[in-house]
């Protein structure tokens, strides 16, 4: 039973192991802890012998020279050209067929070179099985069509201990996800059937016909991927911090959090793909297999029953306790968020989803991203959300979407707007808004309650509102009603008083003469403000342009005065007297930019 390896998946380098090793195949079904199968694998073990003067790979000495070969009459036979010697280190003669009794000729290995020959053959085997995904064929001795083909991953290559005089035992452990016939059609045993989802039996059940996948691509389309492990969990818990006001004005004292977690660890999978007359070997990385399977599990149709559209997962009733079934049917899912994690090196992928179960008339999805940079001291959180209103208009009568209905019931856009005003604190945001709380809870620092940027989009026809906000943990503004404020303080301390006396012809420069005394203490304060649009004048008279200056309008006038007093040397201990230099003030009314600069010169009592 010849074993043939296509080295580097090059069809001109078909390497046949001679003498043929024993082969054993262990078919293992991969199952979750609950006993559900999610895949299978074939553990293939090759157990064979290396002979110092016979078989393939051919023997070479330590310098890489081939030992001479002889025919049955002990006549030396010249080696074929490079076109026939293939594989690692050109040690497989592809001109010798494995049909019937076509055995390789015997090489003459001197007694003192037998160890060289065995060690060199070990080197060749290690090189031959150093690559995953090479085509391997198991063929009957009477023909050239393989009994089966696989593209295995190499687990280990080991050699038995010994003196390596004339032979050496070896064991090669391989792992394959599928076995294919000579037409590269996947064997049916252990491979996933075509899976169907239904409201009655749940997700991932075999179809009645037991459809057989014909190729790796069909397996991927049906079941998602090839995995090492898979886990799925559901949890439902009370969220006491959230209550919901219904249309009638009553308050539901409780909300609920539904959490769904999916995680998978994939396997690197290799499979053939025909491109014209050439068959390429495609590799799917482990993490992509895990991702494909998890995302396949996430794609579930809705159930429509007497309660209307339910959760997007039809198997939720199969995973949540019977005591909560009425809750699932009466409530809808809101604030859907999804967290994805990819670990490329581990080949794993996971998704965690959460919903707020509530009985309102709109639902919301949002995602957050957190960033920090060395060039900025602040952590930034960006949140993107979409609110979709649910129309209360009966299906039998009125228009859906943003168009005005013929009844007094609110349409989808009005419900979405009501939800947006609720989560955004009537567009004022601040610490009372749900949007800020979500962003603030995602980081370990306390964020500023006013966003650094706001972007809002509306679609009244389909009842959708989208928003994008950014928050950071910059300090809270001291001056109210401003977008940004910048405060800088510069202290200049006393220095020596000396004279610089030029001296003609002095190579070391002028003479520096200390004349006694010290310079004065000096403090400069600069305040820069960017006002909100409500404080920017839109008129063209003196009242609008000049009298709207922050230093003339309360409460900013008092706040600026108090801020200046905090920096005044009058509050410093030991200051005997101080003087104020002429202050300067700049106001750009059309841009809302204001600056105030003030300097003190002061003296200490010591």
Domain-embedded: residue 575:
yes
Map 229-279 to HEC letters: EEEEEEEEEEECCCCEECCCCCEECCEEEEEEEEEEEECCEEEEEEECCEE
pLDDT at 248: 36
Q: Which of 130, 147, 176 is the last residue of a domain?
A: 176
pLDDT number for residue 313: 40
119 with 231, same domain: the answer is no
According to the model, what pLDDT value does residue 311 have?
38
Residue closest to 389 by CA, chosen among 367, 422, 343, 345: 422
**Domain, as residue range, for 551:** 482-604
Distance of alpha carbon 302 from alpha carbon 308, whole angstroms: 10
Are residues 44 and 176 in contact, defined by beta-carbon separation less than 8 angstroms? yes
My answer on whether 34 and 170 are in the same domain is yes
**Does the residue 408 lie in any domain?**
yes
Residues 6+ apart with CB under 8 A from 542: none
Asked if residue 181 belongs to a domain, the reply is no
Run of H or E including 109: none
Cα separation, 290 vs 479, in Å, equals 53
**Predicted pLDDT of residue 25:** 94
The verdict on residue 184 lying in a domain is no
- Whether residue 486 is found in the same domain as residue 469: no
**Which of 299, 305, 307, 265 lies closest to 285, judged by CA?**
265
Q: What is the pLDDT of residue 277?
A: 65
Same domain, 375 and 426: yes
Q: Do residues 466 and 487 both lie within one domain?
A: no
The reply to whether 500 and 460 lie within a common domain is no
Q: Which helix (H) or strand (E) holds 287?
A: helix 286-298
Is 504 within the bounds of a domain?
yes
Q: Check whether residue 202 and residue 331 sit in a common domain.
A: yes
pTM: 0.54
Residue 185 forms part of a structural domain: no
Strands 269-275 and 521-531 turn out to be unpaired
**Within its chain, how far is the Cα of 530 from the centroid?**
38
pLDDT beneath 50, residues of the chain: 192-212, 242-253, 301-315, 317-318, 321-323, 325, 335, 394-406
Q: What would the DSSP string read from start to end of 16-78? A: EEBSPPEEEEEEEEEE-TTS-EEEEEEEEEEEEEEESSSSBSPPB-TTSPBPPEE-TTS-EEP
Same domain membership, residue 152 and residue 29: yes
Same domain, 134 and 280: no
426 and 520 together in one domain: no
Q: Is 460 left (phi over 0), alpha (psi -120 to 50) or beta?
A: alpha
Q: Give yes or no: residues 380 and 351 share one domain.
A: no
Residue with tokens 């020596």: 496
pLDDT of residue 235: 83
182 found inside a domain: no
In 3D space, the residue among 225, 173, 289 whose CA is nearest the CA of residue 38 turns out to be 225
- The three-class DSSP label of residue 375 is coil
Among 476, 492, 521, residue at a domain's last position: 476
**Considering the domain boundaries, does residue 183 fall inside one?**
no
How many domains, in total, are found in the chain?
4
Among 476, 496, 519, the domain-final residue is 476
Per-residue confidence (pLDDT) for residue 299, from 0 to 100: 64
Asked if 69 and 133 sit in the same domain, the reply is yes
């Amino acid at each position: 039973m010849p074993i043939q390896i296509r080295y580097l998946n090059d069809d001109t380098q078909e390497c046949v192991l001679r003498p043929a090793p024993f082969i054993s195949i262990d078919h293992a079904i991969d199952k979750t802890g609950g006993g559900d199968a999610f895949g299978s694998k074939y553990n293939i073990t090759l157990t064979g012998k290396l002979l110092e003067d016979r078989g393939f790979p051919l023997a070479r000495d330590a310098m890489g020279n081939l030992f001479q070969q002889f025919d049955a009459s002990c006549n030396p036979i010249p080696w074929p050209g490079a076109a026939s010697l293939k594989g690692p280190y050109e040690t497989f003669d592809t001109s010798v067929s494995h049909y019937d009794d076509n055995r390789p000729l015997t090489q003459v290995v001197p007694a003192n070179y037998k160890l060289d020959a065995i060690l060199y053959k070990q080197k060749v085997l290690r090189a031959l099985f150093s690559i995953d995904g090479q085509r391997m064929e198991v063929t009957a001795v009477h023909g050239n069509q393989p009994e089966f083909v696989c593209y295995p991953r190499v687990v280990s290559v080991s050699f038995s201990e010994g003196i390596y005089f004339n032979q050496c035992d070896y064991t090669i452990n391989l792992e394959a996800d599928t076995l294919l016939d000579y037409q590269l059609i996947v064997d049916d045993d252990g491979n996933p059937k075509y899976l169907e989802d239904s409201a009655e039996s749940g997700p991932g059940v075999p179809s009645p016909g037991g459809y057989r996948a014909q190729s790796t691509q069909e397996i991927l389309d049906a079941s998602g991927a090839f995995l090492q492990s898979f886990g799925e969990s559901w949890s439902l818990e009370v969220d006491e911090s959230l209550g919901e006001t219904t249309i009638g004005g009553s308050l539901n004292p409780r909300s609920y959090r539904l959490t769904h977690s999916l995680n998978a660890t994939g396997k690197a999978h290799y499979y053939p793909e025909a491109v014209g007359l050439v068959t390429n070997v495609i590799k799917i990385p482990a993490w992509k297999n895990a991702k494909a399977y998890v995302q396949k599990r996430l794609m579930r149709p809705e159930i429509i029953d007497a309660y209307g559209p339910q959760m997007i997962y039809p198997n939720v009733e199969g995973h949540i306790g019977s005591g909560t079934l009425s809750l699932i049917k009466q409530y809808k899912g809101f604030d859907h968020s999804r967290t994805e994690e990819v670990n490329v090196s581990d080949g794993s992928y996971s998704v965690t989803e959460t919903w707020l179960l509530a009985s309102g008339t709109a639902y919301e999805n949002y995602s957050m991203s957190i960033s920090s940079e060395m060039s900025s001291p602040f952590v930034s959180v960006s949140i993107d959300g979409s609110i979709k209103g649910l129309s209360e208009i009966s299906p039998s009568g009125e228009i859906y979407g943003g168009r005005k209905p013929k009844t007094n019931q609110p349409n989808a856009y009005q419900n979405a707007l009501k939800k947006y005003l609720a989560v955004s604190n009537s567009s004022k945001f601040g610490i009372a808004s749900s949007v800020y709380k979500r962003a603030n809870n995602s980081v370990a620092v306390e964020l500023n309650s006013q966003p650094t940027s706001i972007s809002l989009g509306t679609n009244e026809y389909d009842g959708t509102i989208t928003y994008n906000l950014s928050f950071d943990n910059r300090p809270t503004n001291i001056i109210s009603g401003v977008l940004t404020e910048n405060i800088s303080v510069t202290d200049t301390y006393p220095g020596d008083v000396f004279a610089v006396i030029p001296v003609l012809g002095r190579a070391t420069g002028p003479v520096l003469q200390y004349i006694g005394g010290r310079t004065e203490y000096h403090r400069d304060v600069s305040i820069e403000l960017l006002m909100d649009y409500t404080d920017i004048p839109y008129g063209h008279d003196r009242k609008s342009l000049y009298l709207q200056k922050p230093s003339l309008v309360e409460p900013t006038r008092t706040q600026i005065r108090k801020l200046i007093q905090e920096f005044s040397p009058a509050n410093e201990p030991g200051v005997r007297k101080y003087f104020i230099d002429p202050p300067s003030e700049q106001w750009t009314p059309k841009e809302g930019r204001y600056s105030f600069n003030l300097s003190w010169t002061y003296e200490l009592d010591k």
